[in-house]
Amino acid sequence: MIRATNVTKFRGDTRVLDGASIEVQKGQVAALVGPSGGGKSTLLRCINGLEEFQEGEIAVGAFALRGGETPPRDTLLQLRRTVGMVFQQFNLFPHMTVLKNVMSGPVHALGRAKDEAEAAAKKWLDRVGLSDKHDARPGQLSGGQQQRVAIARALAVNPAAILFDEPTSALDPRMAAEVMRVIDDLAGDEQLQVAMVIVSHDIPAVKRIADVVHVLEKGRVVHSGPAAEAFAPGGPAAALE
Ligand SMILES: Nc1ncnc2c1ncn2[C@@H]1O[C@H](COP(=O)(O)OP(=O)(O)OP(=O)(O)O)[C@@H](O)[C@H]1O
């Protein structure tokens, strides 16, 4: 589903990704872990076309992004319909109700009729435990609730992949746990054939939900394997615990 091959990206003279490669299948949950500044968020942002890169290739389903090339606007728009993204800071539309926030993707990106978009939005809000908040505005919700709206919004376009960029790091521990429970639930859902990639410093959560852990250091993937291997004593990610 997602295949990043030898992705290299510079910011000015700094090589922030240095030949990074990962593969994530449909229905699989991959975690990116590693020391701060290792390039985890940058790799996620390259995967959904938010950032360009200079070398390598990223394939997401039928889409291919190539290093050194600016993708056509149409490709980017289609790619962002295919790949949902959940950010640390929620990024909801503050003036819209919760329901309208979640409907925005189906209506504007997919061109769905209002009734159909509303039904999809309600289904996903129910799934994240917010069926009683349709008419609230984001500002009336807790951080954990806002992040759950963001997850429902990302899912409402039936994405082939969903990327979580430190989804709980702006939340206090209780709300972080609440959001991780939702992500746990999605990760464990065999019916949901979505490729998931999560960047998180919440190592216990990563161990619980990830099928594969990729360890990024200085822009390189230095290890890919099950969590038990990555976090084993003396393993490549043991120091992160
Ligand atoms: N907007 C930006 N402008 C300039 N440099 C940036 C920007 N964002 C990230 N960087 C740099 O790119 C490199 C990779 O950063 P990135 O955020 O991808 O790492 P990370 O592994 O996600 O780190 P963290 O765990 O701290 O979030 C770092 O050296 C960082 O300082």
Strands (E), the chain: 2-11, 14-24, 29-33, 55-60, 63-66, 83-86, 161-165, 195-199, 212-217, 220-225
Q: Are 64 and 57 in contact (CB under 8 A)?
A: yes
Q: Specify if 240 maps to a domain.
A: no
Predicted local distance difference test score (pLDDT) of residue 149: 97
CA atoms of 28 and 120, how far apart (whole Å): 23
For the chain, percent of residues with pLDDT exceeding 90:
85
CATH number at residue 51: 3.40.50.300
Q: What is the pLDDT of residue 62?
A: 86
DSSP secondary-structure letter at 109? I
Q: Which of 7, 18, 36 most suits a substitution to test ligand 1, by most atoms within 8 Å of the C-beta? A: 36
* Structural domain containing residue 40: 2-235
Name the token pair of 191.
């019916």
Return d(Cα 140, Cα 178) in angstroms, integer.
Answer: 17
Q: Would residue 216 count as lying in a domain? A: yes
Q: 16, 22, 165, 169: which to mutate for ligand 1, most atoms within 8 A of CB?
A: 16
Q: How far is the CA of 4 from the centre of ligand 1 (A)?
A: 18
Q: Is residue 82 part of a domain?
A: yes
Supply the pTM of this predicted model: 0.94
Cα(12) to ligand 1 centroid in Å equals 13
Cα(126)–Cα(130) distance, rounded to whole angstroms?
Answer: 6
Q: Averaged over 62-67, what is the pLDDT? A: 92
Relative to the CA of 34, which ligand 1 atom is closest? 21
Nearest atom in ligand 1 to 39's CA: 18
How many angstroms separate the alpha carbon of residue 200 from the centre of ligand 1? 14
Q: What average pLDDT does this structure show over 24-35?
A: 95
User: Checking phi first, is residue 170 left (phi over 0); if not, alpha (psi -120 to 50) or beta?
Assistant: alpha
Of 215, 161, 217, the C-alpha closest to 192 is 161
Q: How much is the ipTM here? A: 0.94
Span 168-204, pLDDT tens digits: 999 999 999 999 999 989 988 989 989 999 999 999 9
Q: How far is the CA of 42 from the centre of ligand 1 (A)?
A: 6
- How many domains in the chain? 1
Residues near ligand 1 with C-beta < 6 Å?
Answer: 11, 16, 34, 36-42
Q: What is the pLDDT of residue 88?
A: 92
* pLDDT of 217 above 90: yes
* CA 37 to centroid of ligand 1, rounded, Å: 5
Query: Is 90 exceeded by the pLDDT of residue 78?
Result: no
Contact 22, 30 (CB under 8 A): yes
In-domain check, residue 153: yes
Domain for residue 241, yes or no? no
- Whether 203 maps to a domain, the answer reads yes
Distances in Å between the alpha carbon of 163 and those of 22, 45, 96, 135, 239?
Answer: 14, 9, 23, 27, 24
- The per-residue pLDDT for 107 is 87
Name which residue sits closest to atom 16 of ligand 1, judged by CA.
Answer: 39
Residue 60 in domain: yes
Q: Would residue 28 count as lying in a domain? A: yes
Q: What pLDDT, on the 0 to 100 scale, is given for residue 164? A: 97
pLDDT of residue 7: 98
pLDDT value at position 81? 85
User: Is the pLDDT assigned to residue 111 strictly greater than 90?
Assistant: no
State pLDDT tens for residues 149-172: 999 999 999 999 999 999 999 999
User: φ and ψ at 51, to 5 degrees?
Assistant: -135, 145
Distance between CA atoms of residues 3 and 82, nearest Å: 14
pLDDT tens digit sequence for 32-59: 999 999 999 999 999 999 999 999 999 9
